[in-house]
């Protein structure tokens, strides 16, 4: 793969010359968008505008009205499997192919930057946006994201790592303050970004909405400049998430270059005042502007050197790729030999998802698919005259609800069938950007169907569609369970490929599936408080928790079965010092082609700081024909053995013995090798909790300071949300009036699906007050917003005083 991150020679110098010649007003204009999706131009200076748009698993280019809630339509584009599925492939070359396809569609539609991949850590299984993220593990997230970035950028389109950083829940995402200790931040939440930046040199990074330890992510000089640029060598552009700006001059000072979308000059007066007062320097503004201009020149140069692809042929190819990828992501969770099915006889296909696929999540990533495979049509075509498909929907695809009659009809369809395929999962409204799930249950009707059908039939394969783990108290009942995750527009076709063994279920879980959400330590501190979330579980995220505390997951990280069998030969670890190569011979001993993922975990038996039981440090996916052998080769380096030493702000390796564990999942370790390292590194003691959730005292020790008090909801400030206003009488009246205005701006389309309405409502309720000025198109200045907030606070205060009398 050719990586074309750089950077037409001399572009930054050319940009610096342009910026030096620009009047300040033009510079201020350029560091903010022109509209919802496009940047500003300085035509007289050779700077053309370019488009940035979602992402991440397909292009969402809107030609008409713009929104970031999946509200308005976008041009048809291939809807690839979502990141939760992509991460489950563990297949670096395949994700490069997906990235290249995304890049090709973007450049054909004249998009300069695709807003993805997203690689936040899945801290809690109910995170509303988990389907848009790759894994619970930073190494897997980073490697998968790097592959996508290389692919996208190989087509001359910029990629965007998002959301930087520690953006791990949707509830109150615009103003939640993530309280996390430094070691956890580095080892869990930043490592994936670091890998992707170092490996793939993305053109852009998007900062997160949230605050981290009291500071807005977009105003953190430490994150955006010291860590991202100075330490990791990032030399691209940092943009805001949409309407994330909280203080524009502070953002520029911190290293935040581009504000998106346009705030129609709302911040200009503040920025000029900061320049006058010396709180911001002209040089700092020039740097931000220079990066915008550099990117504009780069986009223009790439565009000039390439021709758009033929849309029809491209969409055909990409649909085929989407089907291949969906099968490579499909994860066989259990199987007694029922799968693969023989492509003949009578097969009962039950579940409305067979006709109305659940294939992607809600919010800004919503892709207008070019076409849609259904399992029903594909299965009928696959069986042809050799067999019969008896179909019953069993439930309503949109609501997930079922009538007694629907269940009875499903049972009737299953009666006498040679095998039953039962498609269940989460309806669309369960998973979206903008809100988190409140439980991990499947809809009650889906569970009822599983119970009823498995009680009656003994060849039942459950096929799941969902973007994140679900409770499966019924897991022992069916003879096989396969998850297609959210498999994109070809999910239906890919499922049929996998069910009949035309394709191998290539997926391995990129996240642990807990028995119950209560097992997970982050559950104690997740989406419970409106202004603060405390990461008291520290490093104990996902398998790091399960494996350290011996609390089994229902299906562990890295798990996934195959249709064939493998023999793992004698593993070797070669090399010296921290630079080691793990070589594992693998033979396909079955009679089908297949793939498996060799996973390498490192365990540190003696350490002066607390470490999780083991951590993933490398992996290799091998594809083998029947009887074929190949070596899985995994390289380890200093970071594979290191911890982050907070005292010295450096990664350190302690001398001593390490165990290199070779596994087929985090709990299926098939070989262990010992490695002895010499090192002069000294790691300072690092406070850690005695259990999986830190007590107050332990958490304060981890933070190195008292636990900060959560920000109060009243008095109101820029980060207060429209939803917060309901706490005062005047606020309620104001929010009511505002709601009326906003409702008018929403399409009156009766057909707006419930989930889009739900996402939109959550966007409005969670909108921070500062966004009123930014989105008012000049009608509300920040000075007026300040006055408004003062009034709301004064009336709220006097009402509270009166109430106390």
Q: Applying CB under 6 A, which residues contact ligand BGC?
A: 54-55, 68, 115, 162, 241-242, 364
Tokens linked to 538: 């520290």
CA distance 202 to 157: 10
- Closer Cβ to ligand BGC, 116 or 357, answer by number: 116
- First CA to last CA distance, the chain: 73
DSSP for 578-594 reads TEEEEEEEEEE-SSS-E
CA distance 481 to 507: 13
Least gap, CB of 35 to ligand BGC (angstroms):
13
Least gap, CB of 86 to ligand BGC (angstroms):
16
* Chain centre to alpha carbon of residue 165: 12
Q: Where are the beta strands (DSSP E) in 35-134?
A: 52-53, 113-114
* Chain centre to alpha carbon of residue 10: 34
- Closer Cβ to ligand BGC, 53 or 564, answer by number: 53
- C-alpha closest to that of 365 among 79, 572, 608: 79
Least gap, CB of 364 to ligand BGC (angstroms):
3
Least gap, CB of 533 to ligand BGC (angstroms):
17
- Closer Cβ to ligand BGC, 224 or 598, answer by number: 224
Least gap, CB of 158 to ligand BGC (angstroms):
13
- C-alpha closest to that of 653 among 668, 663, 643: 643
Helix or strand run (H / E) with residue 298: helix 282-304
Least gap, CB of 115 to ligand BGC (angstroms):
4
CA distance 105 to 118: 18
State which residue has the least CB distance to ligand BGC: 68
**DSSP code of residue 223:** I
CA distance 251 to 220: 8
The answer to whether 465 touches 354, Cβ cutoff 8 Å, is no
C-beta neighbour count of 289 within 10 angstroms: 27
Which residue has tokens 């977009």?
218
- Closer Cβ to ligand BGC, 256 or 450, answer by number: 256
- Closer Cβ to ligand BGC, 55 or 768, answer by number: 55
Helix or strand run (H / E) with residue 615: strand 615-624
647 catalytic residue (yes or no): no
CA distance 590 to 592: 6
- Closer Cβ to ligand BGC, 115 or 293, answer by number: 115
Cis (ω within 30 of 0) for the bond into 715?
Answer: yes
- Closer Cβ to ligand BGC, 83 or 660, answer by number: 83
Least gap, CB of 68 to ligand BGC (angstroms):
3
Least gap, CB of 394 to ligand BGC (angstroms):
34
- C-alpha closest to that of 435 among 69, 56, 704, 32: 69
- C-alpha closest to that of 673 among 580, 785, 764, 773: 580
DSSP for 465-527 reads E-SS----TTTTSSSEEEE--S-GGGHHHHHHHHHTTSS------SS-B-SSGGGSGGGGGSS
- Closer Cβ to ligand BGC, 193 or 242, answer by number: 242
- Closer Cβ to ligand BGC, 189 or 242, answer by number: 242
Least gap, CB of 242 to ligand BGC (angstroms):
4
Q: Give the neighbor-by-neighbor strand order of the sheet with 204-207.
A: 52-53, 113-114, 158-164, 204-207, 237-239
- Closer Cβ to ligand BGC, 54 or 109, answer by number: 54
- Closer Cβ to ligand BGC, 50 or 242, answer by number: 242
The answer to whether 29 touches 267, Cβ cutoff 8 Å, is no
Q: Which residues have C-beta within 8 Å of that of residue 101, sequence separation ≥ 6?
A: 78, 80, 151, 317, 318, 321
Residue 416 has phi, psi (to 5 degrees) of 75, 5
Q: Which residues have C-beta within 8 Å of that of residue 787, sequence separation ≥ 6?
A: none
DSSP for 616-681 reads EEEEEEEEE-TT-EEEEEEEE-HHHH-EEETTTTEEE--SEEEEEEEESSSS-EEEEEEEEE----
The answer to whether 210 touches 178, Cβ cutoff 8 Å, is yes
Considering 241, 436, 547, 645, which one is annotated as catalytic? 241
Please list the active-site residues. Answer: 241
């Amino acid at each position: 793969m050719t990586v074309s991150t750089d950077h037409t020679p001399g572009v930054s110098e050319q940009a610096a010359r342009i910026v030096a010649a620009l009047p300040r007003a033009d510079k201020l204009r350029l560091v903010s968008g022109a509209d919802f999706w496009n940047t500003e131009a300085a035509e007289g200076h050779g700077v053309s505008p370019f488009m940035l748009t979602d992402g991440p698993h397909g292009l969402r280019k809107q030609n008409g009205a713009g929104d970031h809630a999946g509200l308005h339509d976008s041009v048809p584009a291939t809807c690839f499997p979502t990141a939760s599925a992509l991460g489950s492939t563990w297949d670096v070359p395949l994700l490069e192919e997906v990235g290249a396809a995304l890049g090709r569609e973007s450049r054909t539609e004249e998009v300069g930057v695709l807003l993805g991949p997203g690689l936040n850590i899945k801290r809690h299984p109910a995170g509303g946006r988990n389907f848009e993220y790759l894994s619970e593990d930073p190494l897997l997230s980073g490697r998968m994201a790097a592959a996508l970035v290389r692919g996208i950028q190989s087509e001359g389109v910029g990629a965007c790592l998002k959301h930087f950083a520690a953006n791990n829940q949707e509830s109150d995402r615009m103003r939640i303050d993530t309280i996390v200790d430094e070691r956890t931040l580095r080892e869990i939440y930043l490592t994936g970004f670091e890998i992707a930046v170092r490996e793939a040199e993305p053109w852009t990074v998007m900062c997160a909405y949230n605050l981290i330890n009291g500071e807005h992510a977009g105003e953190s000089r430490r994150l955006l400049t010291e860590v991202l640029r100075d330490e990791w060598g990032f030399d691209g552009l940092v943009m805001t998430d949409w309407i994330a700006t909280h203080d524009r001059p502070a953002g520029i000072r911190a290293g935040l270059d581009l504000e998106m979308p346009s705030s129609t000059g709302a911040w200009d007066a503040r920025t000029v005042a900061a320049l006058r007062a010396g709180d911001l320097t002209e040089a700092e503004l020039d740097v931000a502007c220079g990066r915008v201009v550099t990117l504009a020149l780069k986009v223009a140069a790439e565009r000039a050197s390439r021709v758009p692809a033929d849309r029809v042929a491209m969409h055909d190819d990409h649909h085929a790729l989407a089907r291949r990828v969906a099968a490579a992501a499909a994860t066989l969770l259990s199987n007694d030999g029922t799968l693969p099915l023989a492509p003949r006889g009578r097969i009962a296909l039950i579940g409305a998802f067979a006709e109305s696929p659940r294939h992607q999540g809600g919010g800004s990533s919503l892709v207008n698919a070019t076409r849609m495979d259904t399992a029903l049509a594909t299965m009928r075509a696959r069986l042809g005259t050799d067999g019969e498909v008896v179909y019953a929907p069993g439930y309503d695809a949109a609501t997930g609800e079922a009538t007694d009659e629907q269940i009875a009809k499903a049972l009737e369809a299953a009666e006498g069938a040679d095998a039953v395929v039962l498609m269940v999962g989460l309806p669309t409204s369960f998973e979206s950007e903008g809100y988190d799930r409140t439980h991990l249950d499947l809809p009650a009707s889906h569970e009822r169907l599983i119970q009823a059908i498995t009680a009656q039939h003994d060849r039942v394969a459950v096929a799941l569609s969902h973007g994140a783990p679900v409770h499966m108290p019924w897991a022992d009942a069916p003879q096989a369970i396969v998850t297609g995750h959210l498999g994109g527009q070809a999910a239906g076709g890919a499922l049929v490929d996998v069910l009949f063994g035309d394709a191998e279920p290539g997926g391995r879980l990129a996240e642990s599936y807990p028995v119950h959400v209560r097992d997970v330590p982050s559950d104690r501190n997740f989406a419970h408080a409106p202004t603060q979330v405390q990461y008291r579980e520290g490093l104990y995220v996902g398998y790091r928790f399960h494996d350290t505390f011996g609390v089994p997951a229902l299906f562990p990280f890295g798990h996934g079965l195959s249709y064939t069998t493998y023999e793992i030969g004698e593993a070797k670890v070669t090399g010296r010092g921290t630079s080691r190569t793990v070589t594992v011979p693998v033979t396909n001993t079955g009679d089908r082609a297949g793939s498996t993922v060799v996973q390498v975990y490192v365990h540190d038996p003696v350490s002066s700081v607390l470490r999780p039981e083991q951590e993933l440090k490398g992996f290799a996916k091998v594809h083998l024909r029947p009887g074929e052998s190949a070596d899985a080769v995994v390289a380890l380096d200093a970071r594979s053995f290191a911890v982050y030493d907070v005292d010295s702000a450096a990664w350190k390796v302690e001398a001593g013995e390490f165990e290199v564990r070779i596994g087929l999942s985090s709990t299926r370790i098939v070989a262990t090798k010992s490695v002895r390292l010499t090192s002069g590194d000294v790691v300072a003691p690092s406070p850690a909790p005695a259990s999986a959730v830190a007590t107050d005292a332990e958490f304060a020790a981890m933070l190195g300071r008292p636990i900060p008090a959560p920000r109060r909801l009243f008095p109101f400030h820029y980060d207060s949300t429209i939803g917060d206003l309901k706490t005062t009488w005047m606020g309620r009246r104001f929010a009511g009036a505002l709601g009326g205005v906003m409702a008018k701006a929403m399409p009156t389309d009766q057909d707006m699906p419930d989930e889009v309405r739900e996402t939109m409502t959550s966007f409005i309720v969670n909108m921070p007050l500062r966004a009123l000025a930014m989105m008012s198109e000049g009608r509300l200045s920040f000075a007026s917003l300040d006055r408004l907030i003062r009034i709301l606070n004064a009336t709220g205060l006097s009402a509270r005083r009166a109430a106390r009398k």
